[in-house]
Amino acid sequence: MSSSDIDLIQDSISQQKTENSLKNIQNIQPKELIKIVQSSKIKKYVEIALSIFQDKSSFTSENVVVVFSGKGPAINKTITIVEIIKRKLNGSLYQYTQIGRDLKQDEDKKDDDEMILDREDRKEHDKSRDKLPTPVITIYLCSSMIPHLEKTLGYQLPVTS
């Protein structure tokens, strides 16, 4: 079995875990998905997430779930945003973290491929991209515990004073 076969199997398992986690979490509460982009401001994301937690928690006693997702260079920003939100809410949130890889090609990068004129260069360029999947992090911040996520994802308890 080649290393590319092993990578495909690992990615398939990771994707199945993600799908199962999302199915389980969808049964709990309609969630908010915030996709973090490297070029956007941290303050904007923090304000959006804080308003979601404050608005929903004041109107309902149900579990509030906000999902943050970042790819590649946006992973550091995603973690920073989540830590700021937890600190601003006095560490009262449960955190479930999932890491993985995304093998899908970005649409923006397809435009760059059009600049490659030589067919052999294009083939080499496509092969090199296939070998480098994009790392992805998905972080679930919840107002109360979700036991089945604790079993499948990384888990961090709220800070107790």
Compute the average pLDDT of residues 2-10: 56
For 95-117, give one letter per residue: b (16+ CB within 10 A) or e: bbbbebebeeeeeeeeeeeeeee
pLDDT tens track for 122-148 = 666 665 555 678 899 999 988 888 777
- pLDDT greater than 80 at residue 22: no
Compute the average pLDDT of residues 10-22: 54
Could you tell me whether strands 32-36 and 94-102 are parallel, antiparallel, or unpaired per DSSP bridges?
unpaired
Q: What percent of the chain has pLDDT over 90?
A: 25
> What's residue 143's pLDDT?
82
Residue identified by tokens 């304000």 is: 47
Contact 116, 68 (CB under 8 A): no
Contact 159, 89 (CB under 8 A): no
> What's residue 91's pLDDT?
81
- pLDDT greater than 80 at residue 77: yes
Residues 6+ away with beta carbon under 8 Å from 104: 134
What domains does the chain contain, in order, with CATH numbers?
3-156 (3.30.110.20)
- Range of lowest pLDDT (49-63, 76-90, 117-131, 145-159): 117-131
Tokens of 79: 């973690």
> What's residue 52's pLDDT?
87
> What's residue 53's pLDDT?
83
- pLDDT greater than 70 at residue 109: no
Q: What are all long-range contacts of 9-18, with beta carbons under 8 Å and residues at least 24 apart?
A: 11/100, 11/101, 11/103, 11/133, 14/100, 14/101, 15/100, 17/98, 17/152, 17/153, 18/98, 18/100, 18/138
Helix axes 42-59, 75-88, angle to 10 degrees: 40
